[in-house]
Structure 1
Amino acid sequence: MQTEPQQQSAEKVLRVLVFTLMITVMSATMFNIVLPQIRTEFHLSFSQVSWVTSAFLLIYAVGTVMYGKLADSYKLKHLLTFGLILFAIGSVIGFFADNYGMVLFGRIVQAAGAAVVPATSSIIPVRYFPPESRGRALGISMTGMAIGSALGPVLSSLLVSLLDWRWLFCMPLFTLFAVPFFRKYLEEEEREAVKMDWIGGGLLAITIALLLLAITNQSLLLALGCILSFLLFLVRIRTAAEPFIRPGLFRSKRYSLGLIIAFLMIGSGYSFAFLSPQLLADVNHLAPGLIGFVMVPGAIVTAFLGKKAGILADKKGNSYLFYTASALLLSSFVLFSSFAGVSPFFIAVFLIFGNVGLSFMMISMSNAISQSLPKEQIGVGMGLLAMLNFIAGALAATLYGKSIDGGAAVSWNLLNSYPGASVYSNIYSALVLVILGLACLYYRQFSRSSVREVN
Structure 2
Amino acid sequence: MATPREEVRPWPALWALVVGFFMILVDSTIVSVATPSILNDFGTDVGNVIWVTSAYLLAYAVPLLVTGRLGDRIGPKKMYLTGLTVFTLASLWCGLTSSIAMLIVARVVQGLGASMVTPQTMAVITRIFPPDQRGRAMSLWGATAGVAILVGPILGGVLVDGLGWQWIFFVNIPVGVIGFALAMRLVPDLPTHEHKFDLLGVALSTIGLFLLVFGIQEGQKYDWGKITGPISVWSLIIAGLVLLGLFVFWQSRNRNEPLLPLALFRDRNFSLANVSITTVGFAVTAMAFPLMLYAQAVRGLSPTKAALLLAPMAIISGVLAPFVGRLVDTTPPRFIAGFGLACNVVALFWLSQIISPDLPIWELLLPMALMGVANGFMWAPIGSTATRNLPMHQAGAGAGVYNTTRQVGAVLGSAGIAVLMESRLAHYLPAMAGGEGAASGGKLPEALHQGFSDAMADAMILPAAVLVIGLIAALLFASPVRRQSDATAASGDREGLRG
**Interval of TM-score (by shorter of Structure 1 and Structure 2):** 0.7 to 0.9
Aligned to 2:331: 316
- Please give the residue correspondences for 1:138-157 in structure 2 after superposition, counting only pairs within 5 Å: 138-157=138-157
Structure 2 CA distance for aligned equivalents of residues 425 and 102 of structure 1: 32
> 1:224/1:403 Cα in 2 relative to 1: closer, same or farther (>3 Å)?
closer
Structure-2 residue corresponding to 1:412: none
- Structure 2: give runs of 5+ residues left out of the alignment: 220-232, 429-449, 485-499
Quick one: distance in 2 between partners of 1:440 and 1:168?
36
Larger RCO (CA under 8 A, 6+ residues apart):
2
1:220 aligns with 2:221: no
Q: 477, 494, 499: which is aligned to 1:446?
A: 477
Q: Contact conserved, 2:83 with 2:116, CA < 8 A, in 1?
A: yes
Aligned to 2:316: 301
Pairing 1:73–2:52 present: no
Q: Give the aligned CA root-mean-square deviation in angstroms.
A: 3.8
TM-score, structure 2 length as denominator? 0.74
Aligned-partner residue type, residue 214 of structure 2: L
Q: Shift of residue 78 of structure 1?
A: 0.3
Indicate the residue corresponding to 1:230 in structure 2.
Answer: 244
TM-score by length of 1: 0.81
* Residue equivalent to 2:184: 183
Q: SS state of the match for residue 132, structure 1? A: helix
Answer yes or no: is the 8 Å Cα contact 1:317–1:450 preserved in 2. no
CA deviation after TM superposition for structure 1 residue 305, in Å: 1.9
Give the one of 384, 387, 408 matched to 1:391.
408
Q: Structure 1, residues 243-267: CA drift from partner, whole Å, max 9, x if none?
A: 2223323344433233223323544
Greater CA deviation, 231-240 or 303-312?
231-240
1:201 corresponds to 2:232:
no
Runs of 4+ in 1 over 6 A off after TM superposition: 419-437, 450-453
Q: Does the aligned pair in 1 maintain the 2:197–2:259 contact within 8 Å? A: yes
8 Å contact kept, 1:313–1:320 = no
**Aligned equivalent of 1:329, options 327, 336, 344:** 344
Whole-Å separation in 1 of the counterparts to 2:273 and 2:159: 40
The structure 2 residue matched to 1:369, chosen from 386, 389, 402, is 386
Displacement of 1:83 in angstroms is 0.6
* 1:106 aligned partner: 106
The SS at the match of 1:85 is helix
State the shift of 1:179 in Å: 2.0
What does the per-residue CA deviation read over 1:131-175, in whole Å, with 9 as the maximum and x for residues that have no partner? 222222122223333443444334434434454544443222221
Answering whether residue 291 of structure 2 is matched by residue 291 of structure 1, we say no
- Cα distance change on mapping 1:348 and 1:216 into 2, 3 Å: same
* Greater Cα offset, 246-255 or 357-366: 246-255
Q: Quote the offset at 1:111 in angstroms.
A: 1.8
Change beyond 3 A, Cα 1:348–1:448: same
Please give the per-residue CA displacement for 1:252-295, whole angstroms capped at 9, x wherever unaligned.
4433233223323544555643454466568x745353332211
3-state SS in 1 of match to 2:362: helix
Structure 1 stretch 345-354 or stretch 262-271: which is displaced more?
Answer: 262-271
Whole-angstrom CA distance in 2 between matches of 1:44 and 1:327: 37
**One-letter code aligned to 1:56:** Y
Count of aligned pairs: 439
Q: Distance in 2 between matches of 1:97 and 1:275?
A: 26
The gaps in structure 1 that reach 5 residues or longer are 410-418
Counterpart secondary structure, 2:408: helix
Distance in 2 (CA, whole Å) between partners of 1:263 and 1:104 is 24
Q: Distance in 2 between matches of 1:275 and 1:32?
A: 9
Give, in whole Å, the separation in 2 of the partners of 1:271 and 1:95. 24
Give SS of 1:316's match: coil
Structure 1 residue 61 and structure 2 residue 61: aligned?
yes
Are residues 1:378 and 2:395 paired?
yes
Give the SS at the match of 1:115. Answer: helix
Match of 2:123 in 1: 123
Alpha carbons of 1:396 and 1:163: their partners in 2 closer, same or farther (altered >3 Å)?
closer
**Deviations 1:5-51, CA, capped at 9 Å, x for gaps:** 567x2111221223222222333433444455555555555544443
Contact 1:269–1:354 under 8 Å retained in 2 = no
Cα 1:189–1:171 change in 2 (3 A) is same
**Alignment correspondent of 1:414:** none
